[in-house]
Structure 1
Amino acid sequence: MPDSSPEHPLTGSIAAAPHPSRDVLAGWYARALELEPRAAEGVSYGMPALRYRGRPLIAVAATAAGYSVYPFSPAVIVAVAPLLGDLKRSKGAVAFTDARPLPREAFDAMLLARRDEIDAALDH
């Protein structure tokens, strides 16, 4: 049985997701932890997410239309816009589907830019 305790909200939400969403979510979170192994499970803005140095780092969620990635920073989305092609985006999220996937380089750039934002804010 998956651990859905308050200490592991992300693990629980991934395990509860239907297949194939579970595999997509698990893959993106595994990639995030490869890029920033100090990230930890948590909740940010009411959704399971990875947190870094006590701040929201990134979340990926299954939606009715596919998936959305949330880097918790409008500036990050603007910065990586050239890597997103024609994917739908808002001030806080980038939407993608199995048919129109999120480019790995865009995900990597979002996560690293958000991490750098957090470091800059905390190390000033």
Structure 2
Amino acid sequence: MGTVDDYLAELVPADRDAIDRVYAVARQEVPEAEQGKGYGMPALVYAGKPLLSVMRAKKHIGIYPFSPDAVAAVADALAGHPGVSVDKGTIRFQPEHPIPDGVLERLVRTRTAQIDGD
């Protein structure tokens, strides 16, 4: 898989829009993030480390911030949100039930702070 843009170009419109929205929020929070890879997945990279990847799976869209702690930081805010499930290092959602911008912003800020602290 190539860059984020290459990956987005391969998706159906509903998935592309949902995934691009997550990346847009991340870029707004971390404008210096660049397209790259994290663990073989198209991702935004910050300070040479993977910041966030968003991928379509068979039954959901997964957000991978490469940090269980970053996911845990927003898990409570997602409790009860329709179509969303949270696992150790992943947030899963459906395009028709997008993750609120404020939660995405907090997720990205948490991951950025972790990278800055490394």
RMSD: 1.5
Structure 1: stretches of 5+ with no match in the other structure: none
Separation (CA, whole Å) in 2 of partners of 1:21 and 1:106: 19
Would the alpha carbon gap of residues 108 and 90 (structure 1) be closer, same or farther in structure 2, given more than 3 Å must change?
same
1:104 paired residue among 84, 101, 109: 101
Point out the structure with max Rg over C-alpha. 1
Equivalent residue of 1:42, what SS? strand
Equivalent pairs counted in the alignment come to 115
Corresponding residue for residue 81 of structure 1: 75
CA contact (8 A) 2:44 2:50 kept: yes
How far 1:105 sits from its partner (Å)? 1.4
Map of 1:26 onto structure 2 = 20
| Alpha-carbon distance, 1:66 to partner | 2.3
CA contact (8 A) 2:15 2:95 kept: no
Identity of aligned residues (%): 32
- After TM superposition, the score normalised by the length of structure 1 is 0.85
TM-score normalised over the length of structure 2: 0.89
Structure 2: any 5+ residue segments left out of the alignment?
none
Distance 1:26 1:50 in 2: 12
Asked if structure 1 preserves the Cα contact closer than 8 Å seen for 2:18 and 2:98, the reply is no
The higher-RCO structure (CA 8 Å, 6+ apart) is: 2
